[in-house]
Structure 1
Amino acid sequence: MASDEITPPEPKGRVLSIAGSDPSGGAGIQADIKAVSAFGGYAATAITALTVQNTQGVTDVHHVPEAIIAAQIEAVLSDIGADAIKTGMLATKSVIDTVVDTLGDRLAEIPLIVDPVMVTTSGDTLMDDDAIDTVRERLVPLAYLLTPNAPEAAKLTGLEVEDVDGQRAAGEALLKEGARAVLVKGGHIEGSQIIDVLVTRNGVRLFTRPRLKSQNTHGTGCTLASAIAALMAQGLPVEQSVEQACDYLHEAIARAPGFGVGHGPVNHIWPLAEANLAKLSS
């Protein structure tokens, strides 16, 4: 079980993202790097899979050998280090086992943000069925923060997650499985508002925002988890990190560049662009 006493010493904003690569730049490792950078953090990566995808979907996946995944993690942590670790696409049981075994006792000191990526925005499956059980058994108990969307929370708990009550129940169930905090996202639940439910051992908090009418939602889960990781890596507590990251993502969707003909990417770097404009006009 994840310790209640994780307090990274002298946080510097270093985030290790362990996830798949998206050549179109909207999700996966590419989104993670941009989101972490947008908050002034330092992004390092361990790539678990090379996907062939764009805004219309995934057409192929090349899985990186487990030994190379482990070596990437070791190369980063033995040299640069990390103040937070974020996981994304871990497609198979063997990959999950490799990541957990390689991280080992480091998770007693470094918070782990787990985005249990199972299905893409376009509906493509990114995780084997047996890997879902492994997430529940091996990753959930180590998670400082778990960030499932409603369908992922339903798969992990076996509960119906169709409203706020379902989100809360799923979050509480995952706390019992060992996660320290769970953010059950509400983007897949119908309604004029999106309600994200944060369940911690101290209680429940709702984050409510108006739903934006936009197709530009490619990689939103990756982006949000990485933004949270970046803020936590700089010393912010979970609740404040979640609130700021949700605000950031809402604006990133609103300012999406409109690339692609399917589910387009968000504008990951809008805070940097805004800061640059402010400097130029001053």
Structure 2
Amino acid sequence: MIQPPERYDPETCANFLRELGASGERVLPIAEAALALASFERPRVPPTHYREHLQLLARDVGRHPGAAGDAAARARALNEIILLKYGYSGDALSYDDLQNANLMRVVDRRKGLPVALGILYMHAGRAQGWETVGLAFPGHFLVRLSDGPERLILDPFHGGRICTAAELRELLKATAGIDSELQSEHYAPVSDRDVLLRLQNNLKARLIQAERYERAVTVVETMLMLAPELAELWHEAGLLHTRLGNMRSAAAALEQVVLRAPDGTARHQAATLLQQLRSKLN
């Protein structure tokens, strides 16, 4: 297991995230990684308090009577500790608040987005040795808790409820459209790296919507630390740098698209835009 950094400065956190991204492991120290991502927004805040809090969550879940039971009892342990004892909840009133995707601020405020709360569930569950994974469910992050053949799908944002097939179908239609129907891929587990990218994507999308492009490109750069092979992230970085007038950085990002894009059309579009940028630089 990759060890988290002792201190949280930008260079150390960047190296930690790059190491996680390069590891190829599906299971990562996900809460520590989320704290490292949060530290880019709060570089002067030491991690000690947050690490101690994560340890308390894990300890108290392990001491709950349900921890020795079946999957339903374990789900109850997670809910009663995280939601009831420590007071976490989904932030339905100010859902788009950027703080809801920053794990440090989620801990401070005891509320956040589905994926941020899900990371707390995954951390506390795994500390007990339980198989706890994020799912590829579109539009709303869910966690699967397994005990051998028994599998439960939890919704941390909505009170940690155990979702039935009917509830999942209703949730899918609310998030993906009324014509959507449940497919097997909606239940598929995703890697921890994908969970972290989903967390950051929430920040990026809201920053772009607010036309805060400088902060948005910083978030994309943290995503590239975890997934430098993703051409679409380099493409987004190139477009954001272009908006900001950072033409050399834009060109460097588009060069990566040309190198990495699996699709010929995407490579051609990036090469065309790159040629236009270079003509302005010369």
**TM-score, scaled to structure 2:** 0.32
Which has the larger helix fraction?
Answer: 2
Higher relative contact order (CA 8 A, sep 6+): 1
